[in-house]
Amino acid sequence: MSGRRMPQVRRDLLLAAVRSAGRISRADLSRRTGMARMTVDALVTDLLAAGLLAERQAVADGSRAGRPARSLTLGPAAGGVVGAVIGPEGVRVTAADLTGAVRAERHRVSGAADVLAGLIAECEAELGGRVWSTVLGLPGAAGDPIGAEMRQRLGRPVIVRSLGDLRLLGELGYGIASGHTDVCHLRIDSGITCGLLLGGVPYRGASGAAGRIGHVQMDEIGPLCHCGHRGCLETIAAVPAILTAVEETLGEPVGAGRAVELSHADAAVERILADAGRVIGRVVADLANTINPALFVLDGPLVEPDGPIVAAVRESLVRYAQPEVAAGTEVAVGLLGDRAGMLGALWAGLRATPVARGDRTLARSAGPSPSAAGFGASTGPPPPMQSAGPGDSAGPSSFVTRPGAALSPAARSVGTAGPGPAGSLGTREQAVRREIITEALRGRGPTARSDLVKITRLPRAAVAELLAGLCHDGIVEPCAPAESRSGRPSPHFRLVAPRVLALGMSLGGDGVRVRVADGTGSVRYDGFRPATLSTDARPMLREAAGLALELLDRHGDRAAPEIRAALSVPAPVHPATGQFGDRSVLTMFSGYSPGGEVSAVLGLPVRVANNAQLAALAECRRGGGRGVRDMLYLSADQYLGGGLVAGGRMYSGAIGYAGEVGHLTVREMGPFCGCGRRGCLRAFLTPQYFAALLDRRSDAGPPSEDRLLELAASGDRPIQRALLDAGRLIGRSVAPLVSVFDPAVVVVGGRFTEPGTFVVDGVRESLQRHCAPAVVAGLRVIPAALGPDAEVLGAIESLL
């Protein structure tokens, strides 16, 4: 580690420990941070002189014998952060100290940059001390000129975020979403906005346009929206649309508060609000089926607990979501109201302070800790937060360390200990930084050292030193660049392939596939065995394990020192338990652990995931989506499925249902689906649904997918057109998911793509027509590249 950076790291740790404890003695501070007492004394002297710490006289309380120790607290110059938002409710500014306690708050119903700057100055004056960060929330954060103007007026950096993101962060840090890792926050106001937390990470999408739920198209001939589309959700169910309907019913102007009052006594007003809630709930159900958050938080001037809107959203969720998804999804009302965005700005600002940096160092280097994902690292959350859920990380990846998360080999190799202050401070901080470097390299291939500096935000000298150490320990190696670059070449590095065998297995409609790869992911040998899926999937699972054993024995690898195994299955799998759900659509994949069945034969632990999710991972790393960080994969065939990659990682959802697009309701009185409901998207893709085209031939047999695809490949124009229409239907059905998720690319695979690009073209056409304009501006829709091997290759990728 660079010696120049070490004092700053130590100061951050001291401030974090003092903030977390509230009051702490120097001796306890030394034990807490692992620093020598002499070092603590020297740093405390500097921090006292700067006013960042204050020392109080000792007071005997009888808790210990001997002379009482003096205690340290945060000093008058410790300062804090400022959060500001400009939204429909006006301009709000607040300031909080480093504990998260609000010290000042201002609100104006209107105002431009000069009003905002004045309110910020007032809050700073009441806060006192240094302002470590300023966060500004705007309805459209990207490229908003107000952000640049405020930076110029204040003379310091200003972090600009969307209001949807900040409202989510407010409820996460101060409100009802605390402790959750998969959340969708909906604000129903003059528009309808959405913030997403996926796997503990605020998600913004490939182009920064994630959460455009207000522009999900509900009615193609509905009211004209300012985005240029007709029938967007907010033209039907936002507050202005609802109040207009109420006013037309009553014949007089009505405000939001009055409408809520009337909904308690007037059946017509209650029905208008409930109807808006059902429309919103329909989109909520689609997102529950496809993004699968555990919690939807609703707020807005017409939203109240158990009011008509919330009750109707819950009703639609139960009606349109899959039973297991509906049972595992909570709909709640936000606790913070109009203050959510402002408090979210505070919460985001606090993550950029020295105490937050120190907290992350303590939490990540200490291993499992009950509060490792929160703000505090030892004594619990700072007031007034009830608890502090995960959020933005200062590292190269926005994924945060969670409670119980294991340290990487890079961190373990420098001797980082478990809980407590074991090891020197330099060793502990170095472990964290080595983990940051290895995380940045994972999944990227050859990466320039200069790019690693940008990705990790670490000093250039520190990156060079860390890379040298990682190379010495055999974790990273120098390599040639993947492509030539202009200018002076920067050294390139990549992770050293682990000395393991990656065993991937997949269950498909035609049989079981097994691939065995080395630590680089290169397939060494493979096998396939035809098998038929029956009403009990356990024999097929054991068949896959048996084929894997045969291949390993045949190639002399059964006694390999380390074999990692993963299995792809055509059903949702709970990401934490590895279990099939008890209420799965397919009874052969319900109520047991598939990994346990395979592990009993293999004698190895087995990781299990859904087939479309693994195919998405493979296409992202090896196929058509290579180099993309945010991707939607669609498996277009009679068993339609999907998978999401968010921030370069496979995303499974709260209970494993992310990407389950096949059971989106297309038509309530449509054909029966295998799940028992009518009108699911998958029901429109079965061979029976194409029977009219197949029966017109004299040589027609029973409708089958094989026959359908043969005819399309031979040039049958009506069937080719039917596949194009199938693609349009798929694209129209997943448009809400694409509008909210904002992928960089949609990769379309599955058997329907074998005869040509008909389905791909149809999906592209529908997405361009029905998605939010900001989302489709840079969206690509492309064919998959890996074919039927995608699932088993994804199983291998999940192990590397």
Q: Are 33 and 378 in contact (CB under 8 A)?
A: no
Rounded to two decimals, the pTM is 0.82
Q: Are 387 and 179 in contact (CB under 8 A)?
A: yes
Contacts of 143 (CB under 8 A, 6+ apart): none
Residue ranges of the alpha helices (H) in 50-156?
113-127, 145-154
The pLDDT value given to residue 707: 87
- How do 641-646 and 631-635 pair as beta strands? antiparallel
The rounded distance, in Å, linking the Cα atoms of 404 and 391 is 16
The rounded distance, in Å, linking the Cα atoms of 101 and 97 is 6
The pLDDT value given to residue 369: 34
Q: Average of pLDDT values for 158-168? A: 90
- Please state, in angstroms and as integers, the Cα–Cα distance from residue 489 to each residue in 393, 437, 480, 746, following that order: 30, 20, 10, 33
Q: Average of pLDDT values for 319-346? A: 93
The rounded distance, in Å, linking the Cα atoms of 227 and 212 is 11
Q: Which tens digit of pLDDT belongs to each residue from 380-425? A: 333 333 323 333 333 323 323 333 333 444 544 554 333 333 444 4
- Least confident among 1-15, 188-202, 660-674: 1-15
End-to-end CA distance of the chain: 28
Q: Which tens digit of pLDDT belongs to each residue from 488-543? A: 778 999 888 777 889 999 998 888 999 999 887 889 999 999 988 777 888 999 99
Contacts 24+ apart (CB under 8 A), 413-421: 413/473, 413/475, 414/469, 416/365, 416/367, 417/367, 418/366, 418/367, 418/368, 419/366, 419/367, 419/368, 419/369, 420/366, 421/31, 421/32, 421/33, 421/34, 421/366
Q: Average of pLDDT values for 220-242? A: 91
Q: Which tens digit of pLDDT belongs to each residue from 432-481? A: 778 888 878 876 778 999 989 888 877 888 899 899 999 998 889 999 88
Q: What is the DSSP letter of 497?
A: P
The rounded distance, in Å, linking the Cα atoms of 463 and 450 is 9
The answer to whether the bond into 491 is cis (omega within 30° of 0) is: no
- Please state, in angstroms and as integers, the Cα–Cα distance from residue 686 to each residue in 58, 185, 572, 650, 657, following that order: 78, 35, 20, 28, 21
Instruction: Extract the tokens encoding 248.
Output: 């037309």
Contacts of 460 (CB under 8 A, 6+ apart): 450, 453
User: Quick one: pLDDT band at residue 62, thresholds 50, 70, 90?
Assistant: low
